[in-house]
Structure 1
Amino acid sequence: MTAETLTTAAGATTPAAVPVRPGFARRSLKWVTGHLGLVPFLAYTGVFLGAPVVMVAVGAFQDNDGAFTTANLGAAFKDQFGRSFVTSIELSALTALLGAVLGALLAHAVLGSKPDGLLRKVVSSAAGVLANFGGVPLAFAFIATLGSIGIVTKALTGLGLDLYASGFSLFSFSGIAIVYVYFQIPLMVIVFTPALEGMRAQWREAAENLGATRAQYFRLIAVPVLLPPFLASTLLLFANAFSAYATAYALTTGIIPLVPIQIGSLVSGNVVADQQNLGKALGLGMIVVVAVVMAFYSWMQRRASRWLG
């Protein structure tokens, strides 16, 4: 053996041991056990949400004999059913915009008070309760207050202001809009307050140190940062109003054409032109509208989380 060979052998190093990754079966078992707690939630969601959506989607393309047809979708967007979509979208957009603006102003005003003060606690608690106060009880409360013989109506009449003589009616489009705004404002307070709380005081201090005025701070910093969460909250309010049913039905008994009321009428047995699956076609239309709105909502939330996360 030569000297060169000995030198080479002496200088050789043992290669580092390559870690052995666990097998596919072991990794799969670990993943399953780690997500085992999701099984009850997924089962609950699949039974009470996934299965009805599938049934509605399938039934929307079936006739009374179960054969494939697109007639249901065609009828769902014509005549009174088409007008109900337009009315529902107009009502939802109007109340979402009013609720978003008024709720954002209220949330901003409340955050200006003491963090542990009585005002913030009262408004936060009231918003949590009123945002979930809807349905027939809310309709009854407004009828007792602003109905034709309501307390406020009678009081204003005694002061010489007759609401119903001037053209207002609680049981019209404008009346329903007022009722919807009642629960839209507290919902906006709940969903938009975290965005306002995410505004950092250092941003204002830095802007002031650089010579920015208060108006410039709001225009160049606050508005661009708060616009995505504001739009996202507005979309959430739109979906909330678009899917509301009991309050509008209790107020108007179906006089105002809204999609949820039309679906309720068809499901309860009022079948038009022997189209039993027409209600499912309307339901599919609502699912598509809400899905599009919530997709934009998620996109806006991701944009907002870049700054407020």
Structure 2
Amino acid sequence: MTSSRATGSRLSWIGAVPFLGYVALFLLLPTSLVVVQSFADAQNRPTLANVRFLAEPYVVSAFGNSIALSAVSAVIGAVLGAVLAWVVATGHPDGTLRRIATAVCGVLAQFGGVTLAFAFIATVGTQGLLTLLLQDLGLDLAGPWLYRLPGLVLVYSYFQIPLMVLVFLPALDGVRPQWREAVETLGGSTWQYLRHVAVPLLTPAFLGALLLLFANAFAAYATAAALISQGGVIVPLQIRTALTSEVLLGRENVGKALALGMVLVVAVAMYLYARVQARGARWLR
């Protein structure tokens, strides 16, 4: 019996082999190549020139813009998404509203790239349907704002809000009704329940979701690339310029150094996310 248990224990990891292979092939290998080639020139000789490029003023500005864009869209998505998730959580767990809301959010959270950019251009662009309709009513939305950082904040928020609903809804489900009943039994008000029970319990989950939204926006590329065809206002567009420029050749490894900078920022965000989630999980078991 002991031998069979030991054999089963040794063989239990085999089911994880496909997942581990996927992680190694599509995460660890590309990350390793980015790290190694960030410190190599076009002839694969060791150099620090690519990393020193990160100190250029316009690169620092691009990182600042990316962090600001990610932070603002994450806050907007987290606040509005949390409110929407609370509305969904108050309904019946198996009700039609919840099923429809989660299904729609699951689709919209993945609705990005060129399709999302075109949808906003056709709606609120210079000749967009809503823009022309409001012009007839005396309101003028036309202008280049959609193709700059304010426009990216609006577009990114479109997929950040439904993602927040999906991420934050399990935390709301973990808040037990008995806790509120206990507060009411002891003579507490709704405000006291929120202040002393619900908000402290949900804060770690909310902060974790906020960090996840930040990383999601920081790594987004296709939507920004479709809206901003020229320039490198954010880091992903700087990487595009380094990899595809026909004016300055041999700068592919500079793009990989930029990607290494992004990996470090996302790694910090994901580390904080893991710490916050671990803290919140202890309360919602």
Q: TM-score, normalised by structure 2?
A: 0.93
Aligned length: 285
C-alpha distance in 2, partners of 1:103/1:148? 29
Match of 2:124 in 1: 146
Match of 2:160 in 1: 184
Structure 1 residues 270 and 278: alpha-carbon distance in aligned structure 2, compared to 1, 3 A threshold: farther
Match of 1:10 in 2: none
Name structure 2 gaps, 5 residues minimum: none
C-alpha distance in 2, partners of 1:288/1:238? 13
Structure 1 residues 231 and 271: alpha-carbon distance in aligned structure 2, compared to 1, 3 A threshold: farther
Q: Does 1:133 align with 2:111?
A: yes
Q: Does 1:33 align with 2:11?
A: yes
Q: CA deviation at 1:106?
A: 0.7
C-alpha distance in 1, partners of 2:21/2:127? 49
What SS does structure 2 have at the residue aligned with 1:162? coil
Q: CA deviation at 1:31?
A: 4.6
Match of 2:55 in 1: 77
What SS does structure 1 have at the residue aligned with 2:146? coil
Structure 1 residues 270 and 100: alpha-carbon distance in aligned structure 2, compared to 1, 3 A threshold: farther
Match of 2:185 in 1: 209
Q: Note the alpha carbon deviations across 1:84-138, whole angstroms, 9 max, x for none.
A: 1110000000000000000001111122233333322221111010000000000
Structure with more of its chain in helix, by fraction = 2
Residue pair 2:242, 2:251 contacting (<8 A) in 1 also = no
Structure 1 residues 292 and 271: alpha-carbon distance in aligned structure 2, compared to 1, 3 A threshold: farther
Query: Which stretch shifts more, 108-117 or 140-149?
Result: 108-117
- Quick one: which amino acid aligns to residue 162 of structure 1? D
Structure 1 residues 254 and 303: alpha-carbon distance in aligned structure 2, compared to 1, 3 A threshold: farther
Alignment counterpart, residue 105 of structure 1, candidates 48, 71, 83: 83
C-alpha distance in 1, partners of 2:93/2:44? 60
Alignment counterpart, residue 163 of structure 1, candidates 130, 141, 150: 141
Q: Does 1:282 align with 2:258?
A: yes
Q: Note the alpha carbon deviations across 1:265-309, whole angstroms, 9 max, x for none.
A: 212245748544111111111111111101111111111111112
Q: TM-score, normalised by structure 1?
A: 0.86
Q: State the structure with more CA Rg.
A: 1
Q: Does 1:119 align with 2:97?
A: yes
Superposition RMSD in Å: 2.1
Query: Which stretch shifts more, 197-206 or 258-267?
Result: 258-267
Q: CA deviation at 1:39?
A: 2.0
Name structure 1 gaps, 5 residues minimum: 1-20
